[in-house]
Chain A
Amino acid sequence: MISATRALQRADGGEFDLTAIVGALSARFAVVTGSMQLVRRKRLDTFDRRLHAAGFTLEHQIVEPGERLVLGRLDGSSTVAVPVKGLRWPATADVLPLGPVREAIAPVTGVRALMVALDEQRRMRRLELCNEDGKTVARVELDEPASPAAEPAQLMVRRLRGYDEQARRADRLLLGLGLRAVENGADRRPSSAPKTSSVDRAVPARVLLTTALSDFLVTMRENLPGLLDDVDTEFLHDFRVAVRRTRTTLKLGRPALPEVMRSRWEPAFKRLGDLTTPLRDLDVYELDLPTMATWLVTADPADLEPLATHLRSRRTAARHALVRFLRSARFRRLVTEWDLELAGLVDSPEGADRERLSAGQLADRSVSRAYRRVARGGFVIRADSPAQDLHELRKRCKELRYALEVFAPVLAKGPRGRAVADLKDLQDVLGRFQDCEVQRRAMRGFAEEMMTEGTKAGAVLAMGELIGHLDAEQDHARRQFDSAFARFARPSSLRLMHRLGGRR
């Protein structure tokens, strides 16, 4: 097995002189030069570069007459190759053949689809470096572009397990030809998470808000093609998160933003968010269905098949409706005009602010206000409070969370991190409570729809079991609320929030 790889390049990134390379290596090895192969190489990763972040590289290589998937580590420490046939991208890891590649990749990619990040033709040639027994003790691969726009030529020295010294020798011989080692470059990872590099607290609040809103617009635009093509469910999720962050930022930024933001853009983004909700809810039900099947006690998982079919058909309809809107001139206009609005905000003179607030002042005010709202909302929750009250509290928690995220560049990193951690626990409990509430009601609604369509009793009974389970789960979450809120509202948390809110 290959235990490590080192990549080398010519200083000018140009192509290699095969004769010189073979000549140099022949000083220590019997070199068997393979024939040149034209390889179509598709580098795969998820949209948010999960494989790269986890230190993996994955390539779908098509070399006549076969295809293979090659999984490696970014540091070249190991490589596994698996023959494959007819794989099409984008696709989730479920399409990969059972075995080591899928086992390594599937937990990393999760629900995200693998997409082609880079597609290029390469000219590959392999040199086997053999010892006196004719045993290959190291490999050198010449990897050169077959088209001018492709990545520059590279030469890989592949170290074989148990023959490290021989690979080092090959390395030394090649470095003697003037080749230089290639470092693995950093990769930009698209993410809906706001940027957190620190900013001077004295900058106008409008500048910080505009930057955040522009970032959210970039995220919406980045996720739009994947959403439209239905590549995976995370595109819609990330799109929605960007919309929700935009709405919260507009709300938090009211004191520092022009009136048009409140009168026009807040309702516009609320409508956009609302339009995406039905599809996201159905995505969640579909994704959760395998877990739900494990809750069944008396019913059989197969009894849920009519529900799966019903969800699929509802999802198709919801998707069509959303896609129709996202492809409409109205949506295009919304995005274009929002972009112009943000550009205008950047260019407008400083005096145009409703209040001359610095980013630090607005951050303090917003965090403090959001925290007070959560605290007030939490203290009035009683054992008999309706579910709606907990839902309202959940929304306030989200506002506080977004405030901590949007204003992260002007908040102290340590206290902010601890505040987010404290809040997360409470959000988790409230999230589970509300999810159970919504899912229970949705299940009832689906059951009624399915019964009018003539679904068999077995499916409805199985859904009844799911509702029972959700009921118990919701009770469990409700019981956990008091302690979660007590932790959130403990004196040390309060002091932390006061520090973040500008009080000393």
Chain B
Amino acid sequence: MKVFATYNIKGGVGKTSTAVNLAYLAAREGRRTLLWDLDPQAAATYLFRVRPRVRGGGHALVTRRRPIEAALKATDFENLDLLPADFSYRNMDLELDDTKKRTRRLGQLLDGVADDYDVVFLDCPPSISLVSENVLHASDTLLVPLIPATLSLRTLDQLVRFVADSKGSRPEVVAFFSMADRRKRLHRDVIDAISRDGTRVADTVIPALSIIEQMVERRAPVPAFAPTSRAAQCYEQLWAEVRPR
């Protein structure tokens, strides 16, 4: 089982769009895929038309009072399941803090479904917290969407240091530009200037396109409702760069 997490300290950078579209593409290839919407805002859950409710809330999951399998929901797409968000996830830091091995609990929970899935996506809330530490330990690849702006690069540096400072196994960090507008000189400059020496930066750039915003209206991944669109092609390219061989 390969675990990807879409993560950034900043919000509104395209984490959910990336998680939803790449999870859909993984499932379309025949990989048994799970998307765990860890963000209490429940955007991914909304996109899949699933109700943002987990019986017993985050507390029941984290304390294992309810098995993770009981909370899983099939999406409308073959091979793709969702572990929905719940508003109680806003307290997940507190719940995790009360457990043994508090930085590894999410990984332990995922181990319970390792036989059922080939690929897992974690759609993370924007923060640096105990949840984030859990995500680092649970994931193999951290996908970091970046809006092409100077502050974004600074955020990436912070995030890379955060990963480097974490104990135990560390995920590979793969950054990529998201919501890029080639008409803006600043965006072009930042994309061209980013150093590819240290952190892996994907070649694919996800442009700012209105069709990606339409996901909320259509409540579906872009490649499902606009399979030949440029946005769908970009996500396919990104998936081709990062998917397990």
Chain A contacts to B: CB under 8 angstroms: 1-3, 69, 79-83, 97, 99-101, 128, 133-136, 160-163
Contact A162 B73 (CB under 8 A): yes
CB<8 Å pairs between A and B, sample of 8: A1-B32, A80-B32, A100-B32, A128-B76, A135-B48, A162-B73, A162-B74, A163-B74
**6 further A-B pairs in the complex, CB-CB below 8 A; given A79-B78, A101-B30, A135-B49:** A1-B80, A1-B81, A83-B29, A97-B30, A99-B30, A161-B74
The answer to whether the Cβ of B10 comes within 8 Å of any Cβ in the partner chain is no
The complex places the Cα of A128 from the Cα of B77 at a distance, in Å, of 12
Q: Which of B8-55 contact A (CB under 8 A)?
A: 28-32, 48-51
Q: How far is the CB of A315 from chain B (nearest CB, A)?
A: 33
B30 close to A100 (CB less than 8 A): yes
A134 x B30 contact (CB < 8 A): no
Tell which of B29, B50, B72, B78 touches A135, judged by Cβ atoms closer than 8 Å: B50
Most central of B28, B32, B50, B79 by chain A CB within 10 Å: B79
Docked-complex contact A83 and B32, CB < 8 angstroms = no
CB distance from A59 to the nearest CB of B (A): 14
Point out the residues of chain B lying under 8 angstroms from A99, CB to CB.
29-31, 118
Chain B residues closer than 8 Å to A128, beta-carbon distance: 76
Q: How far is the CB of A106 from chain B (nearest CB, A)?
A: 15
Chain B residues with Cβ below 8 Å from A80 are 30, 32, 79
In Å, the complex CA distance between A161 and B78 comes to 11
**Residue among B30, B72, B76, B80 having the largest count of chain A Cβ atoms under 10 Å:** B30
Write the residues of chain B forming the contact surface with A, with a CB cutoff of 8 angstroms: 28-32, 48-51, 71-74, 76, 78-81, 116, 118, 219
Q: Which of A97, A128, A136 has the most CB of B within 10 A?
A: A136
Chain B CB within 10 A, most for which of A69, A136, A162: A162
A69–B78 CA distance with the chains assembled, in angstroms: 13
Question: Residue of A at shortest CB range from B81?
Answer: A1
Q: List A contacts of B73 (CB < 8 A).
A: 160-163
B227 CB to nearest A CB, Å = 12
A residues less than 8 Å from B80 (CB atoms):
1
Hey, which chain A residues are within 8 Å of B31, CB to CB?
A: 99-100
- Known contacts being A134-B219, A135-B50, is A100 close to B118, with CB within 8 Å? yes
Identify whether the interface residues of B are mostly helix, strand, loop, or mixed.
loop
Closest 8 CB pairs of A and B: A82-B30, A160-B74, A162-B73, A135-B49, A161-B74, A136-B76, A133-B49, A99-B30
The answer to whether A2 touches B74, judged by C-beta atoms less than 8 angstroms apart, is yes
The number of residue pairs between A and B whose CB atoms lie closer than 8 Å in the complex comes to: 56
| A494 CA to B118 CA, complexed, in Å | 53
B198 CB to nearest A CB, Å: 31
What is the distance, in angstroms, from A496's C-beta to the closest C-beta of chain B?
41
Residue of B nearest to A68 (CB): B30
Q: Which residue of A lies closest to B83 (CB)?
A: A162
In the bound complex, what is the Cα–Cα distance between A133 and B74 (angstroms)? 14
Query: What distance in Å separates the Cβ of B60 from its nearest Cβ neighbour in chain A?
Result: 15
Q: CB-CB < 8 A to B50: which residues of A? A: 135
Q: Are B28 and A83 in contact (CB under 8 A)?
A: yes
> Considering the chains assembled together, what is the distance between the CA atoms of A156 and B118 in angstroms?
26
Give the distance to chain B from A135, nearest Cβ to Cβ, in Å: 4
Chain A residues in 8 Å Cβ range of B29: 82-83, 99
Name the residue on A nearest B80 (C-beta). A1
Q: Find chain B residues with CB under 8 A from A135 CB.
A: 48-50, 76
Given A135-B76, A136-B76, A161-B74, decide whether A83 and B51 contact each other with a Cβ distance below 8 A.
Answer: no
Task: Provide the bound-state CA to CA distance between A163 and B32, in Å.
Answer: 18
Q: What is the chain B residue whose CB lies nearest that of A131?
A: B49
Which of B48, B76, B80, B116 has the largest number of chain A CB atoms within 10 A?
A: B76
How far apart are B83's CB and chain A's nearest CB, in angstroms?
10
Select one of B71, B76, B78 contacting A81, CB under 8 A: B78
Q: Which residues of chain B come closer than 8 Å to A163, judged between CB atoms?
A: 73-74
- The distance from the CB of B24 to the nearest CB of chain A, in whole angstroms, is 13
A416 to B: closest C-beta gap in Å:
38
Residue of A nearest to B70 (CB): A162
Which residues of chain B are near A97, meaning CB under 8 Å?
30
Residue from A1, A83, A100, A162 with most neighbouring chain B CB atoms (10 Å): A1
Q: Which residues of B contact A81 (CB under 8 A)?
A: 30, 78-79
Distance in angstroms from B73 CB to nearest chain A CB is 4
What is the chain B residue whose CB lies nearest that of A161?
B74
Tell me, in angstroms, the Cα distance from A97 to B116 when the chains sit together.
18
Nearest-neighbour CB distance to chain B for A503, whole angstroms, equals: 52
Per a CB cutoff under 8 Å, which of B28, B32, B51, B81 touches A133?
A: B51
Q: In the complex, A83 Cα to B51 Cα: how many Å?
A: 30
Residue of B nearest to A97 (CB): B30
Residues of A within 8 Å of B76, CB to CB, are: 128, 135-136
With a cutoff of 8 Å between Cβ atoms, the chain A residues found around residue B30 in the complex are 69, 80-83, 97, 99-101
* Residues in chain B near residue A82, CB distance under 8 A: 29-30
A129 CB to nearest chain B CB (Å): 11
Cross-chain contact B81 with A161 (CB below 8 angstroms): yes
Q: Are A1 and B49 in contact (CB under 8 A)?
A: no
Q: In whole angstroms, how far apart are the Cα atoms of A99 and B28 in the complex?
A: 12
Select one of B28, B51, B72, B219 contacting A161, CB under 8 A.
Answer: B72
Measured between C-beta atoms, what is the minimum distance from A167 to chain B in Å?
A: 11
Q: Determine the chain A residues whose CB is within 8 A of the CB of B81 once the complex forms.
A: 1, 161-162
